[in-house]
Chains A and B, each alone.
Chain A
């Protein structure tokens, strides 16, 4: 826990912090990582999310987050019809992600209008707090409780040195940094959690590093 507001909070629309507010936050993180509204959404629900998700509005929460609504948005109960009216195709299924998966886990498969696909696996770990464990097939770990930079790039020597040099120039303190790759020299994903919001130009500077495909800045969850 970083903050008292992970214990007292979030301010949210019911009925469940883990199944509703946590679901909104998973949707919010996915939407921010994607950078645009998805047109096709397929969501696998595991464990307690699958068993009791309907009564807890887990499905509506996830879609509300994909619409960039906050957990205290009172439109939550109407999220699915409103999203569908906006052209989003939505489907859900119960999935079994195995014994080791957290009981409140969702796996999101999203598709943009341009055809780009995106996947994210995240768990709602209690009290509205969440943990993302997979992005686009890369094993990772991010909670959204800190300001976060995410870069999709090629696995090349010196990449992290460029990242840390840019962050050093703007005096941004790195709380955690994690790089995952498929295999040597392949695509990779780096997640950097910071103690404060980065200067606005940081994302553009990171995007200029050789072999960087995409950079996203996630504001810490409210």
Chain B
């Protein structure tokens, strides 16, 4: 049986034809495409999930600034706030944001993370799944399976657009991660493949146009806070999908829009530190040093 798909319509057809969720079709595709046994693939994904959790825990403990001085310590503050008397929207809200921050703070401190799909967007999927484990009793095995749902959505983006901020702006990184996470949340909580892809469409549609303008070129401002905020955003998209809110633009079309916008986006706003936040008065205090130059002295 062929399990290859490059569009959401093809993935949905496969899910319906075989009566299987996105995560299983994606796993079967992996077995067929790479010739790797199922157990080895699942074991590697489970190991990656463990690394994601470690990167969250490591980030929650950071209480110093990153080498650039632009980030560090905020995941810890958010986590403490989540445990305060009456946090806004309940404690899980701030916890989810804290988890997204934590991975990116680990990343900025040269710690180990899992690019999902990129390092600059690596906090979103782990934050969502860790949070869901706490609220919905997901086992590690369930969370590992949800990563295959996320990867299935990622296959469609990779085949029709891209994941790199330098090519497509932040919508290609954080937008992709948020849509992958939204679909994973839906499937892990019992939603259908159609609902999962609607969630992916809602999430990606709401990130269209997001530029990549980090200060000094460091993956920190706005990346760290954006990972916390877009983890919550994935839950918004999943909520809309599970409630069967009408999805007018199907996922395949949103991906086309993302690619189109990425192509038209000015180079100055695609990971070059030549525009946007990077060239504001604040941003200019942290100019990018050319690679190979000696480390900049802190003033």
Asked whether A and B interact, the reply is yes
Q: Is B226 part of the contact surface with A, judged by Cβ < 8 Å?
A: no
How many chain-B residues does the 8 Å CB contact rule pick out?
Answer: 63
The proximity string for B residues 106-132 relative to A, scoring 1 for CB distances below 8 Å and 0 otherwise, is: 111111111111111010010000000
Check A8–B291 contact: CB distance below 8 A: no
Chain A residue with the shortest CB-CB distance to B150: A8
Assembled-state Cα–Cα distance A93/B292 (Å): 8
Check A3–B33 contact: CB distance below 8 A: yes
* Size class of the contact patch on chain A: 35 or more
The proximity string for A residues 9-27 relative to B, scoring 1 for CB distances below 8 Å and 0 otherwise, is: 1111111111011000000
Q: Is B218 part of the contact surface with A, judged by Cβ < 8 Å?
A: yes
Cβ-neighbour of B118 out of A4, A94, A127 (below 8 A): A127
Chain A residue with the shortest CB-CB distance to B50: A11
Q: Is A144 part of the contact surface with B, judged by Cβ < 8 Å?
A: no
Q: Is B34 part of the contact surface with A, judged by Cβ < 8 Å?
A: yes
Q: Is A48 part of the contact surface with B, judged by Cβ < 8 Å?
A: yes
B29 to nearest A CB, angstroms? 8
Check A14–B114 contact: CB distance below 8 A: no
Main secondary structure of the interface of A (DSSP, over half): mixed
Which residues of chain B come closer than 8 Å to A168, judged between CB atoms? Answer: none
Q: Is A40 part of the contact surface with B, judged by Cβ < 8 Å?
A: no
Assembled-state Cα–Cα distance A126/B218 (Å): 16
Which residues of chain A come closer than 8 Å to B159, judged between CB atoms? Answer: 1
Q: Is A53 part of the contact surface with B, judged by Cβ < 8 Å?
A: yes
Check B114–A12 contact: CB distance below 8 A: yes
Q: Is B228 part of the contact surface with A, judged by Cβ < 8 Å?
A: no
Q: Is B172 part of the contact surface with A, judged by Cβ < 8 Å?
A: yes
Q: Is A103 part of the contact surface with B, judged by Cβ < 8 Å?
A: yes
Which residues of chain B come closer than 8 Å to A51, judged between CB atoms? Answer: 217, 271-274, 288, 290
Cβ-neighbour of A8 out of B48, B110, B290 (below 8 A): B48
Check A16–B219 contact: CB distance below 8 A: yes
Check A4–B51 contact: CB distance below 8 A: no
Assembled-state Cα–Cα distance A131/B31 (Å): 24
Known: A15-B108, A52-B271, A74-B112. A7 touches B154 (CB 8 A): yes
Assembled-state Cα–Cα distance A139/B107 (Å): 35
Cβ-neighbour of A15 out of B35, B107, B166, B290 (below 8 A): B107
Of A55-63, A155-163, A200-208, which binds chain B?
A55-63
Check A8–B45 contact: CB distance below 8 A: yes
Assembled-state Cα–Cα distance A205/B217 (Å): 48
Check A8–B147 contact: CB distance below 8 A: yes
Q: Is A181 part of the contact surface with B, judged by Cβ < 8 Å?
A: no
Check A94–B219 contact: CB distance below 8 A: no
B147 to nearest A CB, angstroms? 6
Chain B residue with the shortest CB-CB distance to A103: B166
Q: Is A121 part of the contact surface with B, judged by Cβ < 8 Å?
A: no
Q: Is A96 part of the contact surface with B, judged by Cβ < 8 Å?
A: no
Q: Is A84 part of the contact surface with B, judged by Cβ < 8 Å?
A: no
Check B162–A125 contact: CB distance below 8 A: yes
Known: A74-B112, A103-B270. A15 touches B219 (CB 8 A): yes
Assembled-state Cα–Cα distance A94/B34 (Å): 38
A63 to nearest B CB, angstroms? 10
Chain B residue with the shortest CB-CB distance to A15: B219
Known: A49-B291, A55-B289. A11 touches B114 (CB 8 A): yes
Cβ-neighbour of B119 out of A8, A16, A103 (below 8 A): A16
Assembled-state Cα–Cα distance A15/B84 (Å): 31
Which residues of chain A come closer than 8 Å to B288, judged between CB atoms? Answer: 51-52, 54-55
Check B272–A48 contact: CB distance below 8 A: yes
A206 to nearest B CB, angstroms? 22
Which residues of chain B come closer than 8 Å to A4, judged between CB atoms? Answer: 26-27, 30, 41, 45, 147-148, 151, 154-155
Check A11–B271 contact: CB distance below 8 A: no
B residues near A (Cβ < 8 Å) are 26-27, 30, 33-35, 41, 44-45, 48, 51, 68, 106-120, 122, 125, 147-148, 150-151, 154-155, 158-159, 162-167, 172, 180, 214, 216-220, 267, 270-274, 288-293
Closest 5 CB pairs of A and B: A92-B292, A52-B217, A126-B164, A53-B291, A14-B107
For the A-B complex with A8-B115, A195-B35 known, give 18 more contacts whose Cβ atoms are closer than 8 Å.
Answer: A5-B44, A6-B158, A7-B116, A7-B155, A8-B116, A8-B147, A9-B114, A9-B115, A13-B110, A74-B111, A76-B110, A92-B291, A125-B162, A125-B167, A126-B163, A126-B164, A127-B163, A128-B119
